[in-house]
Structure formats: C-alpha cells, structure tokens
Amino acid sequence: MEKVADGSPGRAYAVRAEGLIKRYGEKRALDGFDLAVRRGTVHGLLGPNGAGKTTAVRILSTLSRLDGGRAVVAGVDVAADPRGARRRIGLAGQYAAVDEQLTGRQNLEMFGRLFHLGGRRARLRAGELLERFELTAAADQGADGYSGGMRRRLDLAASMILAPEVLFLDEPTTGLDPRGRGEVWDAVRDMVAGGTSVLLTTQYLDEADRLASRITVIDRGRAIADDTPAALKDTVGGDRIEVVVTHAAELPRAREAVDRVCRGAPATDTAERRVHAPVADRVAALTEVARVLQDEGVQAEDISLRRPSLDDVFLRLTGHGADGDGTDGGGGGAQAVHTGKEIAK
C-alpha cells in the first residue's frame, strides 16, 4: 500500500485501521485487525458469525471504544475525536434503526435536527432525501407500515443526511425479499456514484460480489484475506468446465472426452450426472469439449464454464460456510440469495 497522509484532503483511503484490538473479558473480538477502504469504493467485509465484523463496524462508527490500534475514518482518528468522526460518517443496517412510530418525513426531519441542520434545512433535506430514495409517496405514512425494502431505504436516507464521506452498511439486506434487495442495491450504487465510500458487511456472498470492488475476509478478529473478488476467486483455482449428461450411463464416456481436452483430472458427480475439470483456456476448452462430445455421440444436457464463487473462497479460507448457512432457521436465507441472483441478472 502506498503511504498517504491520513489527514490530507487528497487522501486515498476513506477508512484506515491498523492493528485494532478489542477485548470482551478474556475473549479478543478483534485481534490486530487491519483494514483499508479506498475512497469512492464499496469495500466488503466478510466473515463467519462471531469473526468480529460487527465489532469492527461498531468501533469504526464510534459506537464502541477500541482497546488498541488506530482507526482513521474520513481523515479523523475515531478514538481521539469521535464527535468529529460522527459528522463525517453514516451508519445503516442492523445496528441503526429508524423510529417506526414516526412517519418517514418525521424521521428524517428529526435526524436532520439532531445533525444540527436546524428546522428549516432539516425540512428541506428531508424532502430532498425522500425524493431521492423514492419515498415521497409514502412520506407521510407511519414507518411501521413500510415494506422491508422501504424501511431500509428510509434507514439509508437517515444515514445520508449530511452526505457523509463514509457510510457503514451493516447487513443492509438481511431479511429482505428479492425486490427489497434490489431496491437497496440500487440505492447503494447511487450513493457510491455520488462519491460516498461504503464499508459493507453482509452474509450474502453474492451481494459482496455484486457491490464490492474489494473484499476483506475476517476470521477470529483478524483480516485473513484482502483482495478484489476476482483475485480471491483465482486463489481457489481457475475456471472449470462442467458437463451434465442426459443419461447417467454416458458419464464414463463424457469423462473420457473431458479428460482428453482438459489439463487436470476430471471429477465425476454421479447423482447430478455431472463431470467437471479445471481448464486453462476457457473458450478453447468449451469448443473442444463440445466437439468431442458430439463426435462421440454423447448427449449433453448442459455444458458450462464455471468460475469459482466467493462461497468457494470463503469455505477455503475459513474452513466453514458463510454465516447465513444453516444458522438462522434453514432454507429461507439461501432461497433469498438464489432468487436475488436471478432478479439481478
């Protein structure tokens, strides 16, 4: 990383954290955690449950005090000047809520006053944000009647009142249906286009893949990987070709064909009538395998190239799946991820 003075106006990083330590009794929730978020980007923070994601966000957003290390957010040392940091950050998601007994407009006006804009500017800003987050029609309804997606957008609007340089988004789409997820994603892209830097924690790896240009994986209070999503996937292994045959009986012949073309040993998955193998040249391999299969008269139901997913990366790095898996009542979450993918395509 290049050395950039943290306080300079042209600083390259929105968030710099070095050697963060946070103890809860004997346990070290953060144990020398490092993080660098480039300005104007979305940076994903991924990790299993209890890895320290939430602790990190709480410290960087001044909600918790740190026990060691140094964190500079938007050019301000959060331990030395929490009040200064609070003028330059926004916090939305799991750990910041709106007042459900107020209307959307009343919420934004109240938060605007509490950000010390005064009554008139708070009112104007509320109207502006309601429009921008497409909440104008529901502005004067109670937030308790909002859909999940509307409530999160109101939450985002409240965190954007001072147009902060840095926005912390803590699991912004957890529990939302695919439509709500799409709405929140659009809003986040919108904010980044406006120059805000975002630190995003999420339990949906496809969300990080979609939004983040760089990802830090945290486990046991430390950063165990930090790279672009593409580079992280490369560490798991390159592309693979997958052939699904129509009849299970043809699996051995398909395997032969794939073996002849590809560089590595193919693996067979009988239950799914599938053969897959690593490839070097994606397009050449695809053409070649298709040709050989046709020559051999093997009926293929599907031939595809597959990039490793972030799930593969996650599994490799932490030894277990992302924290949404199987911990919160079964298939609901996984289903939402899947449909989320379909919609966003």
Partner 1 sequence: MSTGSRTTTALDGGHARVDGDHAPSGGPHARVDLTVDAADENRARWAVVDTWTLVRRELTHYRRQPVMILWQLGFPIISVLLYGYVFSGAMKPPGGESGGYRDFLMAGMFVMTMSFGFMNTAAAVVAGASKGVIDRFRSMPMEPAAVVAGRGVADLLVACAELAILAATALAMGWRSGGGLTATVGAFGLLLLLRFSLIWVGVWLGLLVPSPEAAGGLYAVAFPLTMISSIFVPTGSMPGWLGTVASWNPISSTGTAARELFGNPVARDGSWIQDHALLMAVVWPLAITAVFLPLAARRFRQLGR
- In angstroms, the Cα distances linking 61 to 67, 89, 310 are 15, 7, 27
Kindly state the smallest distance separating residue 150's Cβ from partner 1, in Å: 16
| Tokens of residue 172, six digits | 């912004």
**Smallest distance from the beta carbon of 215 to partner 1, in angstroms?**
11
Beta bridge partners, 302, equal 244
- Residue 154 to residues 56, 131, 235: CA-CA distances in angstroms? 24, 11, 38
Q: Where are the alpha helices (DSSP H) in the chain?
A: 53-60, 82-86, 104-114, 118-132, 148-159, 178-193, 205-211, 229-236, 251-261, 282-296, 310-318, 331-344
SS3 245: strand
In terms of CB distance, is 114 or 280 closer to partner 1? 114
Is 215:205 a contact under the CB 8 Å cutoff? no
CB under 8 A: which stretch of 63-71, 249-257, 274-282, 307-315 binds partner 1? 63-71
Residue 211 neighbours by CB under 8 Å, 6+ apart = 42, 44, 185, 188, 189, 198, 200
- Least separation in angstroms between residue 246's CB and partner 1 is 33
In terms of DSSP bridges, do strands 89-93 and 166-170 run parallel, antiparallel, or are they unpaired?
parallel
If binding is defined by CB under 8 A, does position 288 make contact with partner 1?
no
Nearer to partner 1 (CB atom), residue 101 or residue 327: 101
Residue 321 CB, shortest distance to partner 1, in Å, is 22
From residue 187 to residue 226, what is the string marking binding to partner 1 with x (rule CB under 8 A)?
A: --xxxxxxx-------------xxxxx-------------
x-marked contacts with partner 1 along 140-159 as a string, rule CB under 8 A? --x---------------x-
- If the CB atoms of residues 30 and 261 are measured against partner 1, the closer one turns out to be 30
61 makes contact with partner 1 (CB under 8 A): yes
Binding site for partner 1 (CB under 8 A): 9, 24, 41-42, 61-65, 83-84, 86-89, 91, 94-103, 106, 110-111, 113-117, 121, 124-125, 128, 132, 134, 142, 158, 162-165, 186, 189-195, 209-213, 228-230, 344
